[in-house]
Structure 1
Amino acid sequence: MARYAQVGTNIGGFAAKYAGQRFLGIDLDGDKNARELKAALGGLKGPIMKVAQMMATIPEALPAEYAQELSQLQSAAPPMGWLFVKRRMMAELGAGWQKRFDSFEKEAAAAASLGQVHKAVSLEGVPLACKLQYPDMQSAVEADLSQLDFILSLYRRIDTALDPRDMGKEIGERLREELDYDLEARHTALYADMLKDEPRIRVPEVYEELSTKRLLTMTWLEGQPLLSFKDESLEVRNKIAEAMFVAWWHPFSRFGVIHGDPHLGNYTVREDHGINLLDFGCIRKFPPSFVNGVIELYRALETDDMDRAVAAYESWGFKNLSRELVDILNLWAGFIYGPLLDDRVRTIADGVKPGDYGRKQAFAVHKALKEHGPVSPPREFVFMDRAAIGLGGVFLHLGAELNFYRLFNEAIDAFDPHALEKRQGEALKRAGLAPPV
């Protein structure tokens, strides 16, 4: 109840002020309102901040000034103290939990919006990472998600170009999944299976006997933050970038699975410049028809085939597409697919300043949708777009220069939806996961 009150008070105060401005006919200052919304959310921590950050990373889900402000929210939460940690660990593993480890560090190695990580050592001497969920997170998530519809309804009054309701449903579903560490353990096993033949990418091993639905214990993978390699040679930065490309697109093109949270803290770089994938809370599984649509749209843009593009959009669930709406969607698709259609070595932004990357295209799309929309993107696009933009951000940070066309075509070479369905079904079964709906 306290959480409902806290979120409702902060967001409600912002909404009341916004509604009053509209009622009195006062011109709305988008930049100022965006700063005030960030301030209202910034004191809350926890899940609602994660939702806001998700919305900020999805192109055109929010007006530009709102996305810019909300993207600055910090996801780090103050870590639980040692007495609190001991009580939580006892609740998960029992009274003698400390005897099940050779050592367990009192200070958290990392703290985020839903939980924190402690470094430990197993009785066999293996370094471990223990991801411990904060108490009462399920209640906090439900309280915060109850406000998400309100926030989105407020946005629909601000701007009618895009209907984000399905986006809200998708975000809610994925966020609830992130609370289930048993599910994350199975997702970790799935990724270990899908990438077992890729030496450039390492996935931690889960210790099931030291894990529960709210405690996930894995092998500790040594590595350095990606940003610490920004000043390395181009050869090193390209090597890291190629490994990142494979880590995201190989599972998608071969198994219909994508990592939906390409946050810089979710991977580290090894001494050999391979990468460690560390977090599997936000995983999206797609039916083969969706993956086929992604490739079909790529081929349509490659050959300038309008009918093929329309068929691809419709296979994803876009409805009532006019010629104008297809042209608008192709503007954004051209931006996302642009580096993958260009058969040469280049940077991801190709000379565009990082701060301006995608801004021109987003503005053009938004302006056109105001005239011909609104459009309701299928919910699958939330984390598909987020992954694509997040991965592009990694390449921007690294200043990588690669032939993205070659890398992508290697990933989709000899794509067969029937073969993908079989591979996907077998991999999901081995990991104890259900097929996508």
Structure 2
Amino acid sequence: MTDIPRRAAQRTAKLASLPLGVAGRVAAGWGKRLTGHTSEEINAELSARTAEQLFAVLGQLKGGAMKFGQALSVFEAAVPDEMAEPYREALTKLQSAAPPMSGDSVRRVLDTQLGRAWRDRFAEFDDEPAAAASIGQVHRAVWHDGRDVAVKVQYPGAAEALRSDLRQLSRFSRLFQSLAPGAEIKPLLAELQDRMVEELDYRTEAANQRAFATAFAGDDLVRVPKVLASAPQVLITEWVTGKPFAEIIADGTQQERNEAGRLLAEFHFSSPQRSGLLHADPHPGNFLLGEDGRLIVIDFGAVARLADGLPPVLGRMMRLALEDRADDLLRLLREDRFVQTDSALRAEDVIAYLGPFVDPVRTERFHFSREWMQRQAERVGDLRSPDFRTGRSLNLPPDYLLIHRVTLGATGILCQLDSEFAAREIITRWQPGFAAEPAQD
């Protein structure tokens, strides 16, 4: 058996171990119930230990498993505190850690992608990786003109691993639902699969990054590293330094938290209008707070192409929910396919469901907190809740799925940051359709 099939078999075995581990803990839970433990105590322990095993396994993998873990990690803020502690650290590690590739493997990839004389392009090249990504790792180097650069090298066999991981993870989607209450896991996996091929070609990522770098060139708030060279499995960009969002989440000052949140919201809402693209990989590992106070954004493998900017219908929905115009809101939702065609949904049910989601624009400044996100997740994820039944009648058209997922992920980061800032001002400036409009007769 060659290395790639052997590694694939090992990865499949690790992923397959997840449901077996859950079954064992459920059996142990029944035993504890017989000895007097309450169902709440048992459920909390089962959830925490299941999550602990899940992220321990995902943390050993690359490709689709790690990418999926990174996508899930932004929902950590929605998990109740008493259940989150055992795996919060594992979630954070997923955002920046993966087993390193050997030096020989790195050199073989560079030989293939850049030619055997690739070292002539660099004044220096560090064989030890400086960071890891979901399907590659990053090396620090000095370009031939003296600039510090980051060299991202794709793992050998990444394409095969990505496809294998996503097939396996699709089988276990129900296990992940407790980690992202209110979020649909299967569409998230399907979306990752749909974008898999595009992300594997670093030339596409280079084109995306160049577009963002051009749009934000000289910007006072956002910095995007310039691309120097690219190949299908190698990407060379400017080296950037700053305080990672993961560190700010862990121990940042309140000023850092507020500023990091403000800058992230500014980037998220402004980039479609400025570049025609939306950065579609929101997790803390892709954002840093630079020493000059700017937001540094990296990793542009996943983007949403929005040539006309953010859809105005989303702004109109927010405005109608903000003003409690239930009938107008339901009419808009039906017209734009956000309601199941056979649904008998009432206007008051829709406003009760969507109203709390626009809390960030109800006041001049809003505090994005884990408690707020947990309340929303519990409200829409509780099977006994009227809001859960309303949610079942709503529909997310496929062309809005990625925007919804990215916005939800960015909101998760804001809540992890525990940031407070003037979100309404940013949304008013950049979200088409949100400006006040007259009520319909």
1:317 to partner: Cα distance: 4.8
| Among 209, 219, 238, the residue aligned to 1:219 | 238
Residues 1:15 and 2:19 aligned together: yes
The unaligned stretches of length 5 or more in structure 1 are: 417-437
Whole-Å Cα distance in 2 between the matches of residues 207 and 158 of structure 1? Answer: 39
Whole-Å Cα distance in 2 between the matches of residues 185 and 119 of structure 1? Answer: 18
> What does residue 388 of structure 1 align with?
407
Q: CA RMSD in A?
A: 4.1
> What does residue 61 of structure 2 align with?
44
Residues 1:358 and 2:373 aligned together: yes
Q: How many residues align?
A: 407
1:284 to partner: Cα distance: 1.7
1:123 to partner: Cα distance: 1.5
Q: For residues 359-411 of structure 1, what are the alpha-carbon distances to aligned partners after superposition, in whole Å with 9 as ceiling and x for unaligned?
A: 12211111236546646644555543443344345545655442221221122
| Among 307, 326, 330, the residue aligned to 1:310 | 330
1:214 to partner: Cα distance: 0.7
Q: For residues 262-296 of structure 1, what are the alpha-carbon distances to aligned partners after superposition, in whole Å with 9 as ceiling and x for unaligned?
A: 32221222332112212211212247596122111
> What does residue 53 of structure 1 align with?
70
Whole-Å Cα distance in 2 between the matches of residues 99 and 83 of structure 1? Answer: 18
Whole-Å Cα distance in 1 between the matches of residues 107 and 133 of structure 2? Answer: 18
| Among 163, 167, 183, the residue aligned to 2:188 | 167
Whole-Å Cα distance in 1 between the matches of residues 116 and 14 of structure 2? Answer: 39
Give me the TM-score of the superposition, normalised by structure 1.
Answer: 0.77
Classify the secondary structure of the residue corresponding to 1:207: strand
1:239 to partner: Cα distance: 4.7
> What does residue 112 of structure 2 align with?
91
Q: For residues 191-240 of structure 1, what are the alpha-carbon distances to aligned partners after superposition, in whole Å with 9 as ceiling and x for unaligned?
A: 123323633212111123xx201100112224333435965573x66554
Whole-Å Cα distance in 1 between the matches of residues 209 and 117 of structure 2? Answer: 27
Distance 1:413 1:373, change over 3 A: closer
> What does residue 36 of structure 2 align with?
none
1:132 to partner: Cα distance: 0.8
| Equivalences for residues 195-234 of structure 1 within 5 A | 195-196=216-217, 198-208=219-229, 211-226=230-245, 227=247, 234=255
Whole-Å Cα distance in 1 between the matches of residues 140 and 132 of structure 2? Answer: 12
Whole-Å Cα distance in 2 between the matches of residues 311 and 191 of structure 1? Answer: 36
Classify the secondary structure of the residue corresponding to 2:151: strand
1:152 to partner: Cα distance: 2.6
Q: For residues 42-81 of structure 1, what are the alpha-carbon distances to aligned partners after superposition, in whole Å with 9 as ceiling and x for unaligned?
A: 4434421321332454599999999987763432112223
> What does residue 244 of structure 1 align with?
264
Distance 1:158 1:320, change over 3 A: farther
The unaligned stretches of length 5 or more in structure 2 are: 34-41, 436-441
> What does residue 146 of structure 1 align with?
167
Whole-Å Cα distance in 1 between the matches of residues 181 and 147 of structure 2? Answer: 54
Whole-Å Cα distance in 2 between the matches of residues 205 and 183 of structure 1? Answer: 14
Classify the secondary structure of the residue corresponding to 1:146: helix
Q: For residues 9-29 of structure 1, what are the alpha-carbon distances to aligned partners after superposition, in whole Å with 9 as ceiling and x for unaligned?
A: 333343356679999x97995
Distance 1:283 1:252, change over 3 A: same
| Among 105, 110, 113, the residue aligned to 2:126 | 105
The code of the aligned residue for 2:232 comes to: K
Distance 1:43 1:397, change over 3 A: closer
The code of the aligned residue for 1:15 comes to: P
Whole-Å Cα distance in 2 between the matches of residues 371 and 213 of structure 1? Answer: 46
The answer to whether the Cα contact below 8 Å between 1:252 and 1:291 also exists between their aligned partners in 2 is: no
The code of the aligned residue for 2:329 comes to: A
Whole-Å Cα distance in 2 between the matches of residues 232 and 173 of structure 1? Answer: 39
Indicate the structure with greater strand content: 2
Classify the secondary structure of the residue corresponding to 1:107: strand
Distance 1:60 1:247, change over 3 A: closer
Residues 1:273 and 2:277 aligned together: no
The answer to whether the Cα contact below 8 Å between 1:201 and 1:275 also exists between their aligned partners in 2 is: yes
The answer to whether the Cα contact below 8 Å between 2:130 and 2:140 also exists between their aligned partners in 1 is: yes
> What does residue 427 of structure 2 align with?
408
The answer to whether the Cα contact below 8 Å between 1:163 and 1:374 also exists between their aligned partners in 2 is: no
The answer to whether the Cα contact below 8 Å between 1:253 and 1:291 also exists between their aligned partners in 2 is: no
Distance 1:318 1:20, change over 3 A: farther
Classify the secondary structure of the residue corresponding to 1:106: strand
Give me the TM-score of the superposition, normalised by structure 2.
Answer: 0.76
The answer to whether the Cα contact below 8 Å between 1:266 and 1:277 also exists between their aligned partners in 2 is: yes
The answer to whether the Cα contact below 8 Å between 2:113 and 2:233 also exists between their aligned partners in 1 is: yes
The code of the aligned residue for 1:243 comes to: L
Residues 1:135 and 2:156 aligned together: yes
The answer to whether the Cα contact below 8 Å between 2:206 and 2:227 also exists between their aligned partners in 1 is: yes
The answer to whether the Cα contact below 8 Å between 2:139 and 2:152 also exists between their aligned partners in 1 is: yes
Classify the secondary structure of the residue corresponding to 1:304: coil
1:131 to partner: Cα distance: 0.8
Farther-moved stretch of structure 1 (365-374 vs 142-151): 365-374
Whole-Å Cα distance in 1 between the matches of residues 265 and 62 of structure 2? Answer: 31
The code of the aligned residue for 1:8 comes to: T
Distance 1:45 1:163, change over 3 A: closer
Whole-Å Cα distance in 2 between the matches of residues 246 and 90 of structure 1? Answer: 40
The code of the aligned residue for 1:88 comes to: V
Distance 1:94 1:386, change over 3 A: same
| Among 279, 285, 302, the residue aligned to 1:282 | 302
The answer to whether the Cα contact below 8 Å between 2:21 and 2:50 also exists between their aligned partners in 1 is: no
Distance 1:92 1:294, change over 3 A: same
Whole-Å Cα distance in 1 between the matches of residues 380 and 164 of structure 2? Answer: 33
Q: For residues 78-124 of structure 1, what are the alpha-carbon distances to aligned partners after superposition, in whole Å with 9 as ceiling and x for unaligned?
A: 22232222222112111111111111112212123311111111211
Farther-moved stretch of structure 1 (264-273 vs 89-98): 264-273
